[in-house]
Chains A and B, each alone.
Chain A
């Protein structure tokens, strides 16, 4: 590299180096913010699309016609949902009629920590669908609760929640067969389904009881 010319004093050189560094910082920060501004709409669109992909798994798109991702309600931390942080509830409507509520719940007692769930509950009290969004269950053993990992592709385990009516299902049926309930499970991995069934039951019970209020509320939290 070329050494700095001799005529610069120490302080002059320091000022010159600082100025050059400053120019570099300005240029590259400008580059970064330009790239950020330019890509922002596309990134937000694909993030929304990814959310919709998940929504499609629990609620068919034909059942509602509103912009579901924009019709939200912020819920305060709620022990019935197993959540100790605020969460977002989405509302599906057809015309102006309420169709379904989509909300997150957590099963705190999975085999390996928390299991995060997305639940869709129709306005008539039936479960439209449930999906596991995040878990750390044992690969190949407890992870069949995720349809992608379930060997039975035609009837994945988590599909048992589909179209289950909360009002017509007795409380004691919300259990695995072994405990006298209606849910199948895979031998050797009962902890995960038990935790999920319990969490879905609690969450659906709460949402069903507060259904009208949840559909009617606007915007912020209670």
Chain B
């Protein structure tokens, strides 16, 4: 079973402390390509949550049978096989959802976040903890990519949730800036993603540094408030 503290640590690590995008800076390739709007970022993250939870639980269950020397090829084998099976099952049984999420699933296989979590966490921890780790790493990615995608499309197009009609045909993107907004192409191109991601990393570091300074100033704080 899992203790509450353990759960809280895993969740805190995934969502903030070791956030894949703004602390570990992993998986930049799909991040740059996909976050041209918030909807794509959210969809990629949802698919990642699913894949990471599955690959983490599979590797954690099999971790005692995997020799240390060949762990990487075995991990890759497990992750690739699982992702392909998920892809096939989605296509066969949840075809509507597949049309929306489907293009993102193969993208994830190449994502080093999955292998990194398998190697750093699932190979050393029991299945339950590993599942939560996969889910919360994905949740961390979810809010980061949604925020980054939202900022990019707002700056680039003046809209929010562009492409939502592909997921929910009844919904329309929100036009936040006036129709006459000329657009800012740089935000939609990869350099814009780098610049905004840099700003987000700086923001996280600033918050962490402030929290650390505050904790130092008052040593007998009752509970250390984690950011």
Chain A positions 48 through 79: 1 when the CB is less than 8 Å from some CB of chain B, otherwise 0: 00000000000000000000000000000000
Contact among B64, B66, B73, B89 for A39, CB-based, below 8 A: B89
* Chain B interface mostly: helix
Q: How big is the A interface, by class? A: 20 to 34
List residues of B (86-101) whose CB comes within 8 Å of A's CBs: 88-89, 91-93, 95
Shortest B118–chain A CB gap in Å is 13
Contact among A16, A25, A28, A43 for B88, CB-based, below 8 A: A43
- Assuming the contacts A1-B68, A21-B74, asked whether A35 and B91 have C-beta atoms less than 8 A apart, the reply is no
A21 touches B85 (CB 8 A): no
| Alpha-carbon separation in the docked complex, A4 to B69 (Å) | 10
| Chain B residues, Cβ within 8 Å of A36 | 88
Contact among B69, B85, B92 for A31, CB-based, below 8 A: B85
| Chain A residues, Cβ within 8 Å of B123 | 1
A42 touches B93 (CB 8 A): yes
A167 within 8 A of B: no
- Assuming the contacts A28-B77, A28-B81, A31-B81, asked whether A17 and B69 have C-beta atoms less than 8 A apart, the reply is yes
| Alpha-carbon separation in the docked complex, A39 to B71 (Å) | 30
Closest chain B residue to A25, Cβ basis: B77
| Alpha-carbon separation in the docked complex, A38 to B95 (Å) | 15
Shortest A18–chain B CB gap in Å is 8
Contact among B68, B69, B71, B91 for A43, CB-based, below 8 A: B91
Chain A positions 1 through 26: 1 when the CB is less than 8 Å from some CB of chain B, otherwise 0: 11110000000000011001100110
A21 touches B70 (CB 8 A): yes
A20 touches B70 (CB 8 A): yes
Q: Knowing that A32-B81, A43-B91 are A-B contacts, what are 13 other residue pairs whose CB atoms are under 8 Å apart, sorted by A's residue number?
A: A1-B68, A2-B68, A17-B70, A20-B70, A21-B73, A24-B77, A24-B78, A35-B88, A35-B89, A39-B92, A42-B91, A42-B92, A46-B92
Partner-B contacts on A (CB < 8 A): 1-4, 16-17, 20-21, 24-25, 28-29, 31-32, 35-36, 38-39, 42-43, 46
